[in-house]
Structure 1
Amino acid sequence: MSVISPDNTITIALSVRDRHASADWYGNMLGFDLSYHMDEAGWSEVRTNTPGVTLGLGEQAEPAPGNTVPVFGIADITAARTALEAEGVRFDGETITVEGMVSTATFYDPDGNALMLAQDLSSGA
């Protein structure tokens, strides 16, 4: 028996300098939809393409980038990386592939938060 009983939602909180600009970036680069801006609290949320998973954007004068690494599943990591790089998104090294398992690529948002793309290779996808 667990101590708590979480529901089917996850919010991944990230520190950013400008919540409005970050929400726009996540919408334009990854196709996420704005849920809301709560200006009085310095907080915004965007819905990811995964049901129940939300990014929370907490505004900070000096963000603490790299404190979490959300991993987003992707059908074609090469095409996704190429599209992001074409928009000037910075990646950390090459795409890493573990044959028969997964390909991953770490990239950064405008505030230096690390994010990762992952393509599942275990089922021939």
Structure 2
Amino acid sequence: MGYVNDTDSAKDLTQETFIKIWQQLPKFRNESSIGTWIFRIASNTCLRQIQKENKMPKSELPIEINADTSEVNIENDLQFLYQCISELQELDRIIISLELEDINQKEIAKIVGISEGNVRVKIHRIKEKLTLKFKNNGH
């Protein structure tokens, strides 16, 4: 969701990711943890899709919501959060997506190839950016 900000696209990308993992599993060399390897495949799959979409015109479909106002507000806030995340630079998107998935910061550092201290600083700065965007947009 942090990459594409669309539930259906996220599901499609998840399925595509697992197909690639299954196909590439014999090539896994244990040079990193399996989780790191899987995340790299997922990240690359999402980034390729974003590149494809940026070359094609986007169509805006009306969203039909059948829920009470509090659920609508939560859904709107969540959608806005994913939109904000999708606008971050690639490394920041990866880091905050992993953080939201409750991956510990030591593992995040291994996945993205930076120090654990740098991960902490980046998470703090990313949260500040997202908070500022929320405040500026009345969320």
* Rg comparison, structure with higher value: 2
- The structure whose residues are more often helix, as a share, is 2
User: When you count strand as a share of all residues, which structure comes out higher?
Assistant: 1
Relative to the length of structure 1, the TM-score reads 0.26
Higher relative contact order (CA 8 A, sep 6+): 2
User: If the length of structure 2 is used for normalisation, what is the TM-score?
Assistant: 0.24
